Chain A
Amino acid sequence: MAERNQRMAYGQTLLELCRENPDIVVLDADLGGSTMGKMIELEMPERHIEMGIAEANMASVAGGLARVGKIPFTNSFAVFAAGRAYDQIRQSISIGKLNVKICGSSAGCSDFGDGATHQSIDDIAYMRVIPNMTVIVPADANETVAATKYMAANKGVMYLRLNRNEYDNVTLENAVFSTDPTVLREGSDITVFACGIMVGKALKAAENLKGSISVRVVNVSTIKPLNREKICELARDTKGVVTAEEHSIIGGLGGAVAEALRRECKPVEFVGVNDEFGSSAHNYEDILKLLGLTVEHIEEAIRSLMQ
């Protein structure tokens, strides 16, 4: 059976890639047991570097490794891998287009217990805004496998955003990664562009509305570079657009899609975190509900565009 957890899928794939490609190096910041960098540490300790709880240093060290031909993957929770090391990612890595791969684990509010400090509701925005940066948010574990392989095979600074928790796959096992927005369900009234865990929720919303509203669901796992032509084409023949992401409605997928549609005059509705920080919760569903990230919220947004 296919893996249902993005972190596991990432760790397994990265380990396979390490076996094939001697240039790949994996760096962790005292969270390898969670990011799954531990899988590489256990089997190939010489290819894994424990950097300690020092994410900024880890990012610049990765830049140095890339400079001598290595392909470093840096792992931590998204708030730390990307947020804590923002300036190092910008200055040391991105300006020089170094071949560094940054993995933001436990992203969004998927680390429900730890609360606001550990919930990255802004990382898509601040990674996306850095020139030369590729931003990938896989829809599920299957797509994480494909995305990880893509990152290893292609040069450039890339940010991979992963969920901590298990959930059902919505994309096919063993598919080749595509950086283009991909239609997972056809529809003619409304187009939903979604990323990450919200793709599955968008598909459920479309199914629930079947018969009354015909909804096209598009997986936008590559938020940058965004294929603008494709986004416009998939929006043009429907009445309106909904974006759905486990991220602030400011600057993330919604922002990127709205930028792409700037000459289209389409109503766009955002489903995402409403410019607020997260909170601790005893389970994932509770926090998703509190932040407005459920199937019902997507249905509501779709309906509002039909009026």
Chain B
Amino acid sequence: MEAYSRELINSLEEKGKLLRRDCIKCIGVGVAGHVGGSCSAADLVAALYFYKMKYDPKNPEWEGRDYFLLSKGHVGILQYSALAEAGFFPTEDLLHCKEPGFYLQGHPHLGTPGVEVGTGSLGQGLSLGLGIALGLQMDHKPNRVYVLVGDGEQNEGQIWEAAMAAGAKKPDNLCAIIDNNGLQAQGPIRDRLDSAPIADKWKAFGWNVIEIDGHNMEEILKALDAAEATKGKPTAIVAHTIKGKGISFAEGVTGFHNAPLSKEQYEQALSELS
């Protein structure tokens, strides 16, 4: 329990809030944006970018870096916020997201500093991550690969093709993090297309599985460290989260999967996250 200082935990929790605020600013007023899935994964992404991963914001292609892939590409604004706060590009640029031709697009693409692969068509990021992990292993490199997967995204068969392949090839530099917020675009996954039990499925595919509360920073850090220490198989961190976490009117509400915010909601969200 005392492995991590209170100071560290506090600062990362603050980062989580900061990323959520950045996302809200990025979405703005009156334009649809993926509020829910950004807020559910914000603590996980904060822990990756501000505790766990190695990278050089001045040299995004630095050979020694760890890789982060946003398989649930619809929350690109969350990764952009993390990259901006980590110094890859100015935070002001977040406000220009989705402008025609701008380097911050609706979904992550190659061409944005710090973005490793293009995503947005769900189900493909884990396979890309597996390819990177296998390639790094071939070259005997120590870099690690983290892939954030949506729980709804696990409907896609390709996720399980990747899971099976990784279970067979055993790249222990690969870590999938499942943002288990329980909701997909049209409602609760349990009602739409029940995919439980999730942890058991990953175990059956040969992965080391760690289940955590995805908003408990200490549990997140422990899981990320345990994943790195695990040899001989990939790790899946099943993070139980709340969609829209941190914004009272959006928490657990399907409607905020991809929704425009009113002026009042925008102000309220920012004040609740301050």
Q: Which residues of A contact B (CB under 8 A)?
A: 28-33, 38, 50-54, 56-57, 79-80, 84, 113-118, 279-282, 286-287, 290
Contact = CB atoms under 8 A, between A and B. Distances in A.
Interface residues of B, number: 32
Contacts of B200: none
Contact of B107 (A28, A31, A118): A118
Contacts of A52: 152, 155, 184, 189, 192-193, 195
B156 interface: yes
A256 B33 CA distance: 37
Interface in B65-120: 73-74, 97-102, 105-107, 109, 118-120
B157 interface: yes
A53 B100 contact: no
A52 B123 CA distance: 12
A114 B155 CA distance: 21
B94 to A, nearest CB: 13
A290 B101 contact: yes
A79 to B, nearest CB: 7
A281 to B, nearest CB: 5
A54 B100 contact: no
B109 A116 contact: yes
Contacts of A54: 155-157, 193
Interface of B: 31-32, 73-74, 97-102, 105-107, 109, 118-123, 152-153, 155-157, 184-186, 189, 192-193, 195
Contacts of A79: 121
A38 B100 CA distance: 31
26 contacts: A29-B155, A30-B184, A30-B185, A31-B185, A38-B186, A51-B155, A52-B184, A52-B189, A53-B122, A53-B184, A53-B185, A54-B156, A54-B157, A54-B193, A57-B157, A84-B121, A115-B105, A115-B106, A116-B109, A116-B120, A117-B121, A279-B101, A279-B105, A281-B99, A282-B99, A286-B100
A33 B102 contact: no
A126 B37 CA distance: 32
Given A33-B185, A50-B193, A117 B156 contact: no
Given A118-B107, A280-B98, A282-B98, 19 more contacts: A30-B192, A30-B193, A32-B186, A33-B185, A50-B193, A52-B184, A53-B153, A53-B185, A80-B121, A113-B106, A114-B120, A115-B107, A115-B109, A116-B105, A117-B106, A279-B100, A279-B105, A280-B102, A286-B100
A56 B157 CA distance: 8
A281 B186 contact: no
Contacts of B189: 52
Nearest to B118: A117
In this complex, the member of B99, B102, B121 whose beta carbon has the largest number of chain A beta carbons within 10 angstroms is: B121
A279 B118 CA distance: 13
A173 B260 CA distance: 33
Contacts of A287: 100
Contacts of B98: 113, 115, 280-282
Contact of A31 (B153, B156, B186): B186
A73 to B, nearest CB: 17
A63 B122 CA distance: 23
